[in-house]
Amino acid sequence: MSSTISRFAFVLLLASLGCSTAKTSQPVKPSPPKVDAQETAKVSKSDARDAAFQAADGKTVHLSDFRGKRSVVLLFQRGYDDGSACFYCAKQTNAYKTAYADLQAAGAEVVMILPGTVDSAGYLRAVGEMGDEQGDSTFSVPFPVLGDPDFSACRTFDVPHVDPGHGFPVSQPATFVLAKDGSELLAYHGKQPGDRPTVETVLAVLRTGKVPEVPSVAESTSAAPSAPRPTLAWVSYDEGMRTAQERKKPVLLEFYADW
């Protein structure tokens, strides 16, 4: 009897050892590595887009020069062509000059980009001369106006352009609001020359870090209830001249271009 009990105890002992061996032989799963939030942030910051611009004096200015110092409002204009500036570019330039103190107070620097040229002096002179009947050939702005002569910055920020010599190289201007670390708070690509976010929209983005539901300049203009509606039927030039001759009426020609 005692021998049977001993054999039974021995079997139990072996079974216990076998179970223990089986358990310890299983591979131990390594614990997942800890993710450092600061290191992750550094990686995302390093992915921020950078671009090089050219100042009128020939110096190269990098977008990353502003990083860690101030937010940046990056304005891609349509360019400067043979002494002419875009009407909407001039309007935007004046608007940002007026609001510059508020933009600075919101922690931002304005950087205006002229695709295809470095002639910022010529551009500002053209903008000044468009101001009123007298014009202001000494017009200036308190923020840098830099050139993108080879369109490398346009390519970096996906701004469509054509080769210079065919009018303004850009027909779809763009506005970017960049945080201090280079991350993009707003990337607005206009669908037409006048389609640009208002300065009030940009200020709201700088102050809150969010894009408000505010219409662009083009949308707010087109949606104005007081905008005049056409009252005359459009006809071809030949038909209009023929009608004027038949009725013996003078002709008033008005030329319009959306540029």
Choose from 124-138, 145-159, 219-233, 236-250 the range with maximum mean pLDDT. Answer: 145-159
Examine the pLDDT at 229 and tell me if it is beyond 60: no
Share of the chain above pLDDT 90, in %: 55
Mean pLDDT of 234-248: 82
The residue among 165, 188, 184 whose CA lies nearest residue 175 is 188
pLDDT tens across 77-103, in order? Answer: 999 988 899 999 999 999 999 999 999
pLDDT at 207: 96
pTM score of the predicted model: 0.68
pLDDT at 247: 87
> Are 202 and 175 within 8 A, CB to CB?
yes
Specify the higher pLDDT residue, 26 or 183.
183
Q: Map residue 193 onto helix, strand or coil.
A: coil
Axis crossing angle, helix 120-129 with helix 87-98, rounded to the nearest 10: 90
Is domain 47-221 annotated with CATH 3.40.30.10? yes
Looking at 65-74, 113-122, 247-256, which range is the least confident one? 247-256
pLDDT at 119: 95
C-alpha 120/C-alpha 118 separation (Å) is 6
Q: What angle do CA 81, 259, 257 make, to 5 degrees?
A: 120
